[in-house]
Amino acid sequence: MFETNYDDCWLRYERVDDDELRTSYRQRLSHAYVSEGAPELGAVRAELGRGFEGLLGREPHLWQHPPRSIERFLVIGHPEEMRPISETIDPDEIWTLAEDGYVIRTVEWEEHECTVVTAPSDRGLVYGTFHLLRLLALGEPIDDLDIVEEPANNSRILNHWDNPFRRSVERGYAGQSIFDWERLPDLRERYVDYARLLASLGINGIVPNNVNTGIPSRPTANDAVAERAGWQLLESENLEKVEALASVFRRYGIRTYLSVNYAAPIRLGGLETADPLDPEVQQWWQDKADEVYDVIPDFGGFLVKADSEGQPGPYDYDRSHAEGANVLAEALEPHGGRVWWRAFVYSEHDDRAVQAYETFEPIDGEFHENVTVQIKNGPIDFQQREPISTLFGAMPETDLGCELQLTGEYTGQGVHATYHVPMWKEILEFDTYADGEGTPVKDVLADREGQGIAGVGIVGEDPNWTGNYLLQSNLYGFGRLCWDPDLTAEEITDEWVRQTFGHDETVVETVSDMLLESWDACIDYHTGGLGLMHMMYNGEAALENHYDPAPEEWPEYVGATGDGIGVDRTSSGSGYAAQYRAPLTDLYDDPETCPEELLLFFHHLPWEYELPDGTTVVQRLYDNCFDGVEAVRELRARWNGLEGRVDDRRYRHVAERFDEHVVQAERWRDALCAYFYDHSTVADENGRVPR
Ligand code: GCU
């Protein structure tokens, strides 16, 4: 069970340096009266032990009753179980909190002063405990606490694109999958540590297998032999493995879901069809759901990629996505499970941007109430910057989930230090006008119980978990934003850096600024910054890449011709702009009002179209590409300036990645600029682009 050769990420629990602070923490927390019983409380105790040992130099003394002779102590539990809580906090305040909420409060009880962590659920106690530990790791005072927390989003789920049995990870850049299905139900310590990382952020669901359940959907040479795949996890003999994994995550308040294959009734059940309106198919799903819940009583539900990129779905039987999803939903409903049905589909329309809306908007209101339609943040595919998906403003009768990508499929993979939090803030703050002005995506999502945020995972077997140490920040930031989308990017970043690298102000400031600036740089050298996208190399099916530049490979996404560049997606073009609520349609339809960063997404404009500051489109593209590379060089230089301030191992690892990052940014700049020049034949005013 012991494997300790991997990083602790932000749960390092380094000793609190400041003597005064450490003494005050010790005085208040060294004695802990912690409720017992639920498995989550075991996790709480273990975490206190680990956290205090690191932060304070000693484990807490645990009590099963209030320690009468101790003046100050910590109390963790539910109100009805513990007098220091029930006699100081109105239980109604706790019971009316959202299920995952919690309170951390300093109270006077009899002659004692107690730091109380209480919550309506066991999971809430786990979250509250991690919050308290975070305060200590951040060096915050705890003398007079009064914290009331509730998550903004009910579901906060990680989707792993991990391929069971073979342990490869689709779009994973941090080594093989941490989930070892061959050896399950044998458990690994790493599952526990992963659960701890997630619980510290408030993540409450995981899907451990890829949405592409019918692997190989993109075969590699090795895959030819390997046929065991994600769809098989629903097999009776594999449910025990799923339960073993679920039992680890359950202790940390995390429910386990599975990606399922729409043709499961055929592949697993031996039926002739998977037609959702066929009674035998309906019965099969019900029986399967009953069986799953027998083994995994708190099972979360099914995630489905249907009728997309070769995966089967209801279209095979001329049924709609709603008909397709509802049969699964009905099977899960008696057990409290939910279907997360992905909107990542294609339709007949020439422009991919309009396709998801075209497919899903007409069936708003037709989904069963335990179905959530999971929508990628933008209409294309996790590009460096996309406009926000029109579906967020278009399905008021349906529970919606937003799918974000933590792994950097298009943002430099495991190499480039591209921090996604500023991008996610932009997405969540975007005003959809769904319910008039002032309906940002974050409110659309937070509005209903069956909604939430799902993130495509980033971790793998690498010792640093994420390919590049700095990219751990994307997992951290994702979880924190799911919990509280009102946090600013700056707040989240500061928290992450301090817990990961300590409190040296030079390091905190430098790393924070680097992260916060990295996304802009990434957009510039990957796209030219005016809303172009999808210019990456794809490659043979066996070697899909999405890392190197190849703007000529996808002409329909770029729209470069002799006379101009960009794609006309206005109301009179492909019509994407018209899918937005009224004021947005007008905003995007007019090149004069369309935000510059999305200009060429919505418009095909002459190369020498003048931007408000007098610069032409083609010149701006050149300039941004060059600026992007300069920005990456600057990031590298700033990191290099931290030598000696960050431990050598992490310092060198990241420094090497920055060397590659610079080279790769230059390759993108050169490929893009050459492409712009070839089509426009307009020279760069500064003579940097070869003619
Ligand atoms: C992209 C990605 C695929 C993934 C797909 C999806 O196309 O490149 O690897 O399977 O999105 O989200 O389903």
Q: Are residues 243 and 366 in the same domain?
A: yes
Q: Are residues 58 and 136 in the same domain?
A: yes
510 φψ region: left (φ > 0), alpha (ψ -120 to 50), beta (else): alpha
Q: Which of 118, 149, 180 is the last residue of a domain?
A: 149
Question: Tokens for 396?
Answer: 């008021």
Per-residue model confidence (pLDDT) at position 270? 95
Contact 597, 529 (CB under 8 A): yes
Q: Are residues 271 and 201 in the same domain?
A: yes
Question: Tokens for 380?
Answer: 């294309």
3-state secondary structure of 574: coil
Q: Return the number of other C-beta atoms located less than 10 Å from residue 487's C-beta.
A: 17
Q: Are residues 177 and 325 in the same domain?
A: yes
* C-alpha of residue 214 to centroid of ligand 1, in Å: 13
Is residue 9 assigned to a domain? no
* C-alpha of residue 409 to centroid of ligand 1, in Å: 9
Which of 160, 161, 217, 545 has most ligand 1 atoms within 8 Å of CB, for mutation?
161
Q: What is the CATH number of the domain that holds 67?
A: 3.30.379.10
Q: Which of 117, 149, 181 is the last residue of a domain?
A: 149
Amino acid at position 56, single letter: L
Q: What is the CATH number of the domain that holds 285?
A: 3.20.20.80
* CA-closest candidate to residue 518, choices 660, 412, 419, 427: 419
The string of pLDDT tens digits covering residues 386-418 is 999 999 999 999 999 999 999 999 999 999 999
Q: Are residues 659 and 635 in the same domain?
A: yes
Q: What is the dihedral of CA 287, 292, 297, 299, to 10 degrees?
A: -120
Is residue 591 assigned to a domain? no
Cross-sheet strand order for the sheet of 301-304:
255-256, 205-207, 155-159, 452-456, 399-405, 371-376, 338-342, 301-304, 258-260
Q: Return the number of other C-beta atoms located less than 10 Å from residue 156's C-beta.
A: 24
* C-alpha of residue 342 to centroid of ligand 1, in Å: 11
Please, which residues bridge with residue 340 across strands?
Answer: 303, 372
DSSP 8-state class, residue 186: S
Q: Are residues 619 and 655 in the same domain?
A: yes
Distance CA 178, CA 6 (A): 12
Chain position carrying tokens 């009468």: 68
Q: Are residues 317 and 339 in the same domain?
A: yes
Contact 689, 622 (CB under 8 A): yes
Helices 489-501 & 472-483, crossing angle to 10 degrees?
Answer: 130
SS (H, E, C) 587-609: HHHCCCCCCHHHHHHHCCEECCC
- Whose Cα sits closest to atom 11 in ligand 1? 381
Is residue 506 assigned to a domain? no
Q: Are residues 427 and 528 in the same domain?
A: no
Pocket of ligand 1 (CB under 6 A): 170-171, 211-212, 305, 309, 344, 381, 409
What are the backbone angles phi and psi of residue 311, rounded to the nearest 5°?
-85, 145
3-state secondary structure of 550: coil
Question: Tokens for 385?
Answer: 């910057």
Which of 173, 261, 304, 381 has most ligand 1 atoms within 8 Å of CB, for mutation?
381
Per-residue model confidence (pLDDT) at position 347? 87
Is residue 587 assigned to a domain? no
Question: Is 369 known to be catalytic?
Answer: no
- Structural domain that includes position 117: 19-149
Ligand 1 atom at shortest distance from the alpha carbon of 217: 10
318 φψ region: left (φ > 0), alpha (ψ -120 to 50), beta (else): left
* C-alpha of residue 353 to centroid of ligand 1, in Å: 15
Per-residue model confidence (pLDDT) at position 478? 99
Question: Is 309 known to be catalytic?
Answer: yes
3-state secondary structure of 107: strand
Question: Tokens for 490?
Answer: 């700056």
Is residue 621 assigned to a domain? yes
Q: Which residues of the chain have pLDDT under 70?
A: 1-4, 215-228, 540-543
Per-residue model confidence (pLDDT) at position 216? 46
Distance CA 299, CA 289 (A): 10
Distance CA 169, CA 166 (A): 9
Per-residue model confidence (pLDDT) at position 338? 98
Distance CA 129, CA 45 (A): 9
Please, which residues bridge with residue 436 across strands?
Answer: 434
Distance CA 202, CA 485 (A): 13
Q: Which of 111, 134, 149 is the last residue of a domain?
A: 149
Ligand 1 atom at shortest distance from the alpha carbon of 171: 9
Q: Return the number of other C-beta atoms located less than 10 Å from residue 505's C-beta.
A: 8
What does 484-512 look like in DSSP terms, one character per residue?
-TTS-HHHHHHHHHHHHH-S-HHHHHHHH
Per-residue model confidence (pLDDT) at position 225? 39
Is residue 11 assigned to a domain? no
Distance CA 682, CA 684 (A): 7
C-alpha distances (whole Å) from 590 to each of 94, 179, 277 are 51, 49, 45
Question: Is 548 known to be catalytic?
Answer: no
Q: Are residues 528 and 652 in the same domain?
A: yes
Q: Find the catalytic residue in 381, 429, 553, 596.
A: 381
Contact 124, 102 (CB under 8 A): yes
Distance CA 552, CA 199 (A): 44
Ligand 1 atom at shortest distance from the alpha carbon of 403: 12
Is residue 408 assigned to a domain? yes
Q: Are residues 291 and 436 in the same domain?
A: yes
C-alpha distances (whole Å) from 619 to each of 165, 186, 539, 552 are 50, 59, 30, 19
Per-residue model confidence (pLDDT) at position 541? 57
Ligand 1 atom at shortest distance from the alpha carbon of 456: 12
Per-residue model confidence (pLDDT) at position 227? 57
Contact 256, 245 (CB under 8 A): yes
Structural domain count, the chain: 3
Q: Are residues 544 and 431 in the same domain?
A: no
* C-alpha of residue 318 to centroid of ligand 1, in Å: 24
Distance CA 198, CA 54 (A): 19
Contact 321, 314 (CB under 8 A): yes
Contact 391, 356 (CB under 8 A): yes
Q: Are residues 395 and 251 in the same domain?
A: yes
- pTM score: 0.97
Contact 292, 239 (CB under 8 A): yes
